[in-house]
Each structure stands twice: as structure tokens, then as C-alpha cells.
Structure 1
Amino acid sequence: MSKKLYLMRHGETLFNQLKKVQGACDSPLTTLGQEQAKQARNYFRQKQIQFAGRYASTQERACDTMEMIQPNSFYTRKKGLKEWNFGFYEGAPEYLNPPHKSGQESYGDFFLDYGGESVDQVEQRMTTTLTQIMEDLEGENALAVSSGGALFSFYLKWRQEKDRRPTFSNCCILVYTYQEGQFYLQTSIDPGK
């Protein structure tokens, strides 16, 4: 049976607004971030999409987004859905992020030397967590709320040559089908547009 994963980024946070590096550290949703979550909630309602399972990163920004999208609904918090840990760069201005090395699309293993994670580590824990979620899912659709870097790492692992690169804006929704242990990107949705 084919299942669908609706993998979302949280709404805009204070650190997003201030252009600060935000991985393992956390900051609250802004008014705009709350509005983005409500737009995602309206999208799911209009499309009449029901979820057999709901999951969020353990970070406040993801939980708050989930609670606005699915108010009064049970969800499970998963550490494996947390944002990329940027080590000593946490909370620093975004302009201090390193440039990508030639031929790379991400920061690779740069943050390992600064107490953070590599793109491979983030991809592996996201894949492990999301695979378990989909294997255990008793129904058709799952919703998972995470963060931009984690979504991008997961995307790099599972993208196909034909895939059009999605935007990773706040509250974007990446829709994957899951079959026989594999994830296939179907579409990306920006409910605010």
C-alpha cells in the first residue's frame, strides 16, 4: 500500500526574522509564523486531508506549528526530526555561515569541527525516523513538522533526477509517497502563495 508523508517546515521564528543561525537552539514563532501555520491548516481543511499520524520535532517552533495546524489533536514528538545542529554557530548571524565547497549543495561536514552535525548525520536520522513513522502508520497519511535544514538534507537523500527542487520557505509542505522503504517526492506546496 502506498502511503503519503506531508513533511513540513515550521512557521517563521524570531531568529528567522533576525537572520540568526537556528538549529539546535530555538526561538518562538512570530506573528507571521503563526499566520503561516494557520494558512497550512486551512490548506489541509480545504483539501480535506486527514492524518492517521502526526509528528513534530521536539523543538518548540515545530510543536507550536503542529498545534496551530491540528489543534486539539494528539501528536508525537520525535527527536529525530530536529533541525541540523550547527554547533558553535548556533545563534550567530547567518552571514557567518560558510560558503558551500565547490561541487557541494550543502555545508557537508563543516559543522563537525564546531560541535555540530554533518549533512549525512542529519539525513540519516531523518530517514531513520521517517521510515519508522511510515512503517508504523496505520492509515494513508502522516504529517511531520521539522525545520528547513533537516528537510533539505532529507530531500538530498531521496531526490530523483526528474524532481524539481522545492523551495524550503516557512510552512512549506513537501509531499512524498512511501512505498517499499523508499520515499518519492510528488510535489511541494507553499500554502501562503
Structure 2
Amino acid sequence: MKKTLYLMRHDQTLFNVQHKMQGWCDSPLTKIGIQQALCAKKYFQDQSIVFDAAYCSTAERASDTLELVTDMPYTRLKGLKELSFGKFEGEPEYLRPQPIPKLHLADYYVQFGGEDDFVAQKRVNDTLTDIMNQDNDNVLAVSHAGAIIMFTDLWDDSDKLQRAGFTNCSILEFSFEDDQFTFESLINLEYKTR
């Protein structure tokens, strides 16, 4: 039976505005971030989308986003966390090495106490697969840019997300059947908050 996953990137945070890396570290939502979440809530209401279950990473920016989008009970899961950047956490984004196109940075951050890209990718994929194999037809999960891009790389071309304007509060719709995810659409609500 075909199911639907709405995989949402958390809303704008202070570190997003300051262009700082935030993997396992955290920063609060901004006023714009709060407006983005309320815009997402309205989108789901306007589309009559009702969730059977809701999940988010253990980061407060993800749970704060989820709590603004829906008032239903939810589960926080470590498997939905962002990649750990180790000693780069909270540092300016310009320090991030540029990956070779279409390749991950692999184990670059491990030497700085961070996480291997492919380990993080497997963690996120396993978590979302487990979620979708439960007795739920429509699921909302709030996660992070890197985690979502790495997950999408397994099932589709994540470069098209970047070209389409994958921003804070973007929602990716995936169908799920027979342990396979299929990317259906990118719902980008950022511009409606201005």
C-alpha cells in the first residue's frame, strides 16, 4: 500500500542568519522562522492534509518547528539528526570544505570529531524506512538540510533540490511502497512568508 512522507526542513534559525554551521549544536528559531512554520501549518490545513504520525530530530529547532506546524503528539528521534560537524559546530560556514560535485565529503569531519556522511545517510534512511513501515499512511517528519539532502541522494537527484530553492521550511513529498521511496515534489513556502 502506498504511503506518503512529508519531510520538512526546520525553519530559519539564528545560526542560519549568521551563516554558522549547526549540526548537532542548536540555535533558536527567528521571527521569520516562526512565520515560516505557521505558513507550513496553513498549507497543510488548506490542502486538507492530516497526519497519522509526526516525528522530528532531537534538535530543538526541529521540535520547535513541528510544534508550530501541528499540535498532535510526536516522537523525537536521534536518527533524524543533522550530520555532526565535530569541531566545526557553530563555526562560520565559509570554513566548510567544498565537496566535489555529486560526491559527499565522506569521512572528512571524522578527523574533527564529527560524523561520516555515509554513516549519517544510512542512519537517516534507516530511521525513515522504519517510520514508514509502521501503521501510518501520512507522516510528517522534520529534519535538517544536510540530512534531507543525503537521504534524497539515495532515492533521487538532490541537485534538483538546490536548483529549485531548497530552503528553510521546504517540504519534500515522498511516496513509499515496498520499502522504496519515490520523490514526488518539493513544496517551497519561503516566499509566501514575505
Is the TM value for this pair above 0.5? yes
Q: What is the CA RMSD across the aligned residues, in angstroms?
A: 1.4
The corresponding residue for 1:65 is: 65
In the alignment, is the contact (CA less than 8 A) between 2:56 and 2:76 conserved in 1? yes
Map 1:15-94; keep pairs closer than 5 Å.
Answer: 15-71=15-71, 73-94=72-93
State the one-letter code of the partner of 1:165: K
The corresponding residue for 1:174 is: 172
- Using the size of structure 1 for normalisation, the TM-score is 0.93
State the one-letter code of the partner of 2:174: Y
SS of 1:165's equivalent in the other structure is: helix
Distance across 1 between alignment mates of 2:29 and 2:178? 36
Deviation at 1:77, TM superposition (A): 0.6
The corresponding residue for 2:130 is: 132
- 5+ residue gaps, structure 1, are none
State the one-letter code of the partner of 1:53: A
User: Runs in 1 of length 4+ with deviation above 4 angstroms?
Assistant: none
SS of 1:127's equivalent in the other structure is: helix
Map 1:152-171; keep pairs closer than 5 Å.
Answer: 152-159=149-156, 165-166=160-161, 167-171=165-169
- Using the size of structure 2 for normalisation, the TM-score is 0.93
In the alignment, is the contact (CA less than 8 A) between 1:21 and 1:93 conserved in 2? yes
Deviation at 1:118, TM superposition (A): 1.8
Deviation at 1:164, TM superposition (A): 7.2
State the one-letter code of the partner of 1:75: Y
Distance across 2 between alignment mates of 1:83 and 1:10? 11
Distance across 1 between alignment mates of 2:82 and 2:153? 15
Deviation at 1:108, TM superposition (A): 2.4
Aligned length: 188
In the alignment, is the contact (CA less than 8 A) between 1:152 and 1:168 conserved in 2? no
In the alignment, is the contact (CA less than 8 A) between 2:10 and 2:168 conserved in 1? yes
State the one-letter code of the partner of 1:150: A
In the alignment, is the contact (CA less than 8 A) between 1:83 and 1:148 conserved in 2? yes
The corresponding residue for 1:98 is: 97
Deviation at 1:13, TM superposition (A): 0.4
Deviation at 1:104, TM superposition (A): 3.9
